[in-house]
A and B are shown apart, each in its own frame.
Chain A
C-alpha cells in the first residue's frame, strides 16, 4: 500500500509541475479537485450537535497509449476531522463501498479525531473499436436517464442525499458495448460484489420519435430483474421516467421501483423539476422511531417511503451565482426533506457552496424536526 501512497503523492504533484509538451499531454490526462467541507449536524431528537471537517481530494488519471486502448485510475482521498468519528458508530467501516468486489480502500490514519481514507474509485482498461467498446475493471455503469431517481441505475448504491459525491461509487465489472446502428446500441455487463451474488444484465437503447428508450433485463444477485426507461419531451418540457422490477425469493419480496418526472426551463434561468417515485416495498405508514428509517439508499431502496414526490426549483441569479431548493415529501410515512442550496463561482478554479438538508417526520399529528445538516464547501478544480 506504500506504493499507492506514493502514487497519490505523485499524481497530486503532477499538476503543480510545469506543463508537459503537447504530445505527452494528449496521451496523459490528469484532473481533479480538492474540497474543504465543513459539516454541521443538528440532531434534534437526541439533542446532539456536532461539527466535522473534511478535506476531499479526487485525482482522475487517464493514459491513452493509442486509439484503441486507454487506462483510467481515479482516487478519492479524504481526511476527516472532528467529533463525527467518535459519534458515528462504525465510522471507518462505513466508508467502505459495499458494492465493490475488491477491497482497494485503505484507512492510512485511524485516530479518535482524525481519519485519512483512500479508495480507488475507478481502475479500468478500455478497448475501443469502431462498433464496440470493452471495459474491464472498476467502473461506473450509469444506466439512469431520468432526472432525480433512477430505478434503472441498478449497478450502484445511489444516494441523492450524499451531496459531496456526484461521481457516485464504481462497481467491479466487465462491460461490452455494441453499436447496432447510429441510433441504437446494446450493452452487456457482468458485475461482482463482495459477499453477494453477482449481477449480469444487458441494456438495449434506441432513439426513436425524438425519445431515448431503453430496455433492461438480467439477474440481480440471484433474482430476475427487468426494466425500461425513457427520456423525451411533452411540448417544451422534458418528460422522463424509469421502471425496474425485481422478482422475489424466499428471503426477499418482489420489488417494483418506478420514477417519473417533468422538467422545464423558464425564461431568465428559472428551472423547475417535478418528480415522483414508487417503491413497492417502501413504508406506507407513520413510524414511531426515526432510527428505523433506512436512509442508506441503494439501487433497490431509492427512498424509504412507498411514494415520494420531489419539487426542485433552481435559479441562475448571475452566471456566477445560483440558488436552488428541493422539497421531498413521502405521504403516509410523512417524511419531509427540505434542501436549499446556493453556489458561487469565485474564480475559474474556485467554487463555494452552501447546502442545507432538513429532515422532518410527522408522528401522531405532530410535525417534528428530526435532523438538520448544513454544509459549507470550497472547491479548487485542477
Chain B
C-alpha cells in the first residue's frame, strides 16, 4: 500500500519502445510525476455495511511537495494536508490552526480510507526503491501488458515484500497491481478502470484498492479532472498558502 500513490498518479500514456523492466517503470514514473499534477477526485470508502464519499482537490510537485484540500463532506470541508519534503501539517479551519503531524501518524489510515497518510504524500520512487524484472506478458482488460515484479532494494525502508504490476505495453498505464507483504502473503489488489483522455494523457479515471483479506472492503478513486505539468511554484506548498486555500 506504501506505493499506492505512485500507482495512482503514474497511469500515463507514453508511446515508445520499452527496452527493459526498469526502463518501462521509468517511463511510467517520469510521466506520472511530470513536473506537477493537479486533480479533483472523489474518494469512496466502502465497507460491508456502509460507505462514505469524500471530495478532494490535490496539488503535487516532483514528489517533494503535496497539498490536499477536503471539499466535502461538510464537516471536514476546508481541512488541508500539506507535505514539504519530510514534514506534514494539517490545517483545521474550525480551529484556525495548523497541526504538525508526528511521523508515526504517516503509516496509519488516511481519513478512514484504505490509504495511509504516507500513501498520499510519499516521497519515494517506483524507479529507485525497487529492482524490476519482466515476469511475462499478460492481457488485462483487452490490453497487452508486461507483468513486472518489483522487489525492494535492501537500503530502502518499504512496507512491501513484493509488488507485481501489469503495465500496458502501448500506453504505459498501470492496469493492475498486487501488493505482497514480506512473508509473501497477498495483501492488496489495485485495479484500474475507465481509461480516458485527461489533459492530453490516457489515464484510468477509476481506481479500486482492495484489501484481499477483508471481505466487502475497498477504497475507490474517481478522477473528475486532472491537469499535468502546470507551473506550481514551490512557495505554493507553504503553511501560509495552506491557510489561504479556503
A297 to B136: give the CA distance in the assembly, Å: 67
User: Which A residues are in CB contact (< 8 Å) with B45?
Assistant: 319
User: Which B residues are in CB contact (< 8 Å) with A382?
Assistant: 74
Q: Which of A140, A210, A316 contacts B87 (CB 8 A)?
A: A210
Q: B154: CB under 8 A from chain A?
A: no
Q: Given the interface contacts A269-B109, A318-B47, does A381 sit within 8 Å of B75 by beta carbon?
A: yes
A318 to B52: give the CA distance in the assembly, Å: 13
Mask, A231-260, CB within 8 Å of B = 1, is 111011110100000000000000000000
In the complex, which residues 74-119 of chain B have their Cβ closer than 8 Å to any Cβ of chain A? Answer: 74-75, 77, 86-87, 94-98, 100-105, 107-109, 111-113
Q: A100: CB under 8 A from chain B?
A: no
7 A–B contacts from the bound complex (CB under 8 Å): A128-B244, A142-B96, A142-B97, A182-B234, A207-B87, A232-B100, A233-B102
In the complex, which residues 187-213 of chain A have their Cβ closer than 8 Å to any Cβ of chain B? Answer: 207, 210, 212
User: Which B residues are in CB contact (< 8 Å) with A179?
Assistant: 240
User: Which B residues are in CB contact (< 8 Å) with A345?
Assistant: 52
Q: Are A266 and B95 in contact (CB under 8 A)?
A: no
Q: Are B238 and A182 in contact (CB under 8 A)?
A: yes
In the complex, which residues 221-239 of chain B have their Cβ closer than 8 Å to any Cβ of chain A? Answer: 234-235, 238-239
Q: A145: CB under 8 A from chain B?
A: yes
Q: Given the interface contacts A269-B109, A348-B53, does A236 sit within 8 Å of B102 by beta carbon?
A: yes
A244 to B123: give the CA distance in the assembly, Å: 36
Q: A320: CB under 8 A from chain B?
A: yes
| CB proximity of A208 to chain B, nearest CB, Å | 11
Residue of chain B at shortest CB distance from A348: B73
| CB proximity of A52 to chain B, nearest CB, Å | 24
Q: Are B104 and A236 in contact (CB under 8 A)?
A: yes
User: Which A residues are in CB contact (< 8 Å) with B72?
Assistant: 348
User: Which B residues are in CB contact (< 8 Å) with A351?
Assistant: 75
A184 to B190: give the CA distance in the assembly, Å: 41
In the complex, which residues 42-63 of chain B have their Cβ closer than 8 Å to any Cβ of chain A? Answer: 45, 47, 50, 52-53
Q: Which of A62, A144, A265 contacts B97 (CB 8 A)?
A: A144
Q: Are A167 and B94 in contact (CB under 8 A)?
A: yes
User: Which B residues are in CB contact (< 8 Å) with A183?
Assistant: 238
A351 to B100: give the CA distance in the assembly, Å: 26
A267 to B109: give the CA distance in the assembly, Å: 9
Residue of chain A at shortest CB distance from B244: A128
Q: Are A185 and B52 in contact (CB under 8 A)?
A: no
User: Which A residues are in CB contact (< 8 Å) with B100?
Assistant: 145, 212, 231-233, 238, 240
Q: Are B86 and A166 in contact (CB under 8 A)?
A: no
Known: A62-B246, A177-B240, A210-B87. 19 other contacts (CB 8 A): A31-B77, A33-B75, A133-B244, A140-B96, A142-B96, A142-B97, A168-B95, A182-B234, A182-B235, A212-B100, A233-B100, A237-B102, A264-B104, A319-B47, A320-B52, A348-B75, A349-B74, A381-B73, A381-B74
Mask, A113-134, CB within 8 Å of B = 1, is 0000000000000001000010
User: Which B residues are in CB contact (< 8 Å) with A268?
Assistant: 108
| CB proximity of A209 to chain B, nearest CB, Å | 11
Is chain B's binding surface mostly helix, strand, loop or mixed?
mixed
Q: Given the interface contacts A142-B96, A179-B240, does A319 sit within 8 Å of B74 by beta carbon?
A: no
Q: A172: CB under 8 A from chain B?
A: no
Residue of chain B at shortest CB distance from A183: B238
| CB proximity of A286 to chain B, nearest CB, Å | 35
In the complex, which residues 244-295 of chain A have their Cβ closer than 8 Å to any Cβ of chain B? Answer: 263-269
Mask, A205-237, CB within 8 Å of B = 1, is 001001010000000000000000001110111
Max count, chain A CB within 10 A of own CB: residue among B86, B87, B109, B246 = B87
User: Which B residues are in CB contact (< 8 Å) with A349?
Assistant: 73-75
| CB proximity of B77 to chain A, nearest CB, Å | 6
User: Which A residues are in CB contact (< 8 Å) with B235?
Assistant: 182
A183 to B82: give the CA distance in the assembly, Å: 13
User: Which A residues are in CB contact (< 8 Å) with B238?
Assistant: 182-183
User: Which B residues are in CB contact (< 8 Å) with A319?
Assistant: 45, 47, 52, 109, 111-113
User: Which A residues are in CB contact (< 8 Å) with B47?
Assistant: 318-319
A108 to B109: give the CA distance in the assembly, Å: 45
Q: Are B104 and A166 in contact (CB under 8 A)?
A: no
A168 to B94: give the CA distance in the assembly, Å: 9
Q: Which of B53, B77, B94 contacts A166 (CB 8 A)?
A: B94
Q: Are A265 and B108 in contact (CB under 8 A)?
A: yes
Q: Are A269 and B108 in contact (CB under 8 A)?
A: yes
Q: Which of A128, A182, A238 contacts B102 (CB 8 A)?
A: A238
| CB proximity of B246 to chain A, nearest CB, Å | 8
Q: Given the interface contacts A210-B86, A348-B73, A381-B73, does A265 sit within 8 Å of B94 by beta carbon?
A: no
